[in-house]
Amino acid sequence: MFNLYTPSPTVEERGADYFIAPHPKPRTQMPNLIEILMGSRHSLLDTWVEGSYRNGIDTHRILGRQVIFVNAPEWIKYVFVTRNSNFERKSPQMRRALEVLLGDGLFISEGETWKRRRPLVADIVHKTRVPSFGATMEQVTANFADGWAAKDGAEFELTAAMAELTAEIIAQTVFGRNLGSSAANQVIEGFTKYQHAVDNFNLGYFLGWDEGWPILHGPGKKRLVTMVHSVVEKVINDHLAGEGDEGSMVALLVKRAERSPGLGLDVTALRNEAATIFMAGHETTATTLTWAFYCLAHAPWVEQAMLDEIRAVCGDRAPTLADVPNLHWADAVVQETLRLYPPVPLLPRQAREADQIGDIPVKKGDLIMIAPWLMHRNYDCWENPMHFMPERFMNGARINPLVYFPFALGPRICPGMNFGLAEATLCLATLVQRFAVRPRAGYLAEPVCRLTLRPDGGLPVTAKERAAPRAKAA
Ligand code: HEM
């Protein structure tokens, strides 16, 4: 069970105080092996002690394996930037868990394959392309908001709702606007169920196999993979036959493949990259939105400031992507949410060769853990690290990228960062303008860390249309 620090102040008590975002109380003693193993199954957030939230490097031995937690800016730079070539490999757990679905897709590839493909994917989701996806983002969010209005205040689960919204946006931007709802649902369902079925832990790796053990997939999981692959391959083949949506990311991938035969991008490679962008590009944004609504509901003074700004910028019309640079509060809420609840709370890396991090000798195959969760709440680097204070991201604040890195950093930084930030800000502003989203009274959202950081058991909410509904989008 999960203890909190102090309860958050009520609005009346607030004074100079702020909402303290829920988090597990650090342990007073280092966990033993069994507790770490149990923790990795349930949530690694429960295994940390007070000192984990300070600058430092910490080592653990799990069975035959050294695991090194790096939580100091200069050594984070060393791992992600200076010695990135030695620490670019994802952990065997992650590679094994995702290889069947993503093949050699960018998220888990490495070495020459990663080097060749990275510029291709980075170009497709580059910030200069984001405006071309604006109409899709706006339309999908507007339709989604109409669905909320029809719920008429009934309770629903917010994580699933946000996943539905962001999956629809990414499905239409990656695969095209003529994908069709049945095919889109097949992909979305396949990914969602697959991610729930994968395990965080690979025993073989901790027993000494550097590559971990291959995971046995039962017929159920194989069916999900086939379901996803068949839809994505059909979309690619349609594009190759000149029948796809010209504005989609797959269209860009296919054009690149045709223009640069040297890249060796066959249908399988294109499928792996399209599937990777789809997977990497929606659940992260969905959990960001879920936590943002949770924090806003507990910090009405922030919600009010955000609403006032949306009204000043947009009046009665719905926000558009072009408004996003002027929605400073919405942007700051998204950034502060990413600080407190980074959707990817752990960035594990496997050492390719022996190395040294600070005083700690690293052996080939060791696991290096860098946790945005810990660094974003580090008492040596942040003032009031547990408080929800979007103001820290406003007025041109300069935040050190070595202490704030929800999108990772160095050569493997998330290429979809600008897409994700713009999308999250637009969706949040559009929905907040129209609805007051409130968690079930007294409900405590406890963060758990699996592949992404989610509220344990979801987040039951109601979305009540605001008293003076705005005019419909033009
Ligand atoms: C709030 C939204 C998002 C967050 C917080 C986020 C976070 C991250 C992080 C932390 C990584 C690095 C993981 C690691 O090194 O282990 C990553 C990688 C990646 N992300 Fe995102 N992401 C977001 C949205 C997106 C979007 C919208 C896209 C695409 C449209 C995307 C595409 C990718 C890809 C392709 C990679 C693999 C990059 C590589 O390994 O070179 N992400 N993301």
Go through the domains of the chain in sequence order and give each one's CATH number.
33-461 (1.10.630.10)
Ligand 1 centroid to Cα of residue 416, in Å, is: 6
Q: 352-361, long-range: CB within 8 Å, 24+ apart, which pairs?
A: 352/85, 352/86, 352/87, 352/88, 352/89, 353/86, 355/83, 355/86, 355/87, 357/57, 357/68, 357/70, 357/75, 357/78, 357/79, 358/57, 358/72, 358/75, 359/57, 360/57, 360/59, 360/68
Nearest CA to ligand 1 atom 35: 277
Please name the amino acid found at residue 9: P
Nearest CA to ligand 1 atom 11: 414
Give the chain's mean pLDDT: 89
Q: How far apart are the first and last CA of the chain?
A: 49
Cβ contact 271:233 at 8 Å: yes
Ligand 1 centroid to Cα of residue 34, in Å, is: 32
**Nearest residue to 312 (alpha-carbon basis) of 298, 330, 299, 289:** 330
Ligand 1 centroid to Cα of residue 280, in Å, is: 5
Cβ contact 348:367 at 8 Å: yes
Nearest CA to ligand 1 atom 26: 281
**Distance, CA of 29 to CA of 31 (rounded, Å):** 6
Least confident of 92-101, 357-366, 439-448: 92-101
DSSP code of residue 466: P
Cβ contact 223:217 at 8 Å: no
Ligand 1 atom nearest to 173, measured from its CA: 30
- Per residue in 22-65, pLDDT (tens digit) is 888 888 877 776 777 666 666 778 888 889 999 999 898 888 88
Protein residues with CB under 6 Å of any ligand 1 atom = 90, 106-107, 118, 121, 125, 276-277, 280-281, 284-285, 288, 338, 343-344, 347, 406-408, 412, 414-416, 419-420, 424
Per-residue pLDDT, averaged over 85-108, amounts to 92
pTM, two decimals, is 0.92
SS3 147: helix
Ligand 1 centroid to Cα of residue 402, in Å, is: 17
Per-residue pLDDT, averaged over 397-420, amounts to 96
- Per residue in 125-157, pLDDT (tens digit) is 999 999 999 999 999 999 999 999 998 889 999
With 0-12 CB in 10 A as exposed, 13-18 as middle and 19+ as buried, what is 189? middle
Question: pLDDT value at position 11?
Answer: 40
For a substitution probing ligand 1, which of 284, 288, 321 has the most ligand atoms within 8 Å of its CB? 284
Q: What tokens does 360 get? A: 């700690």
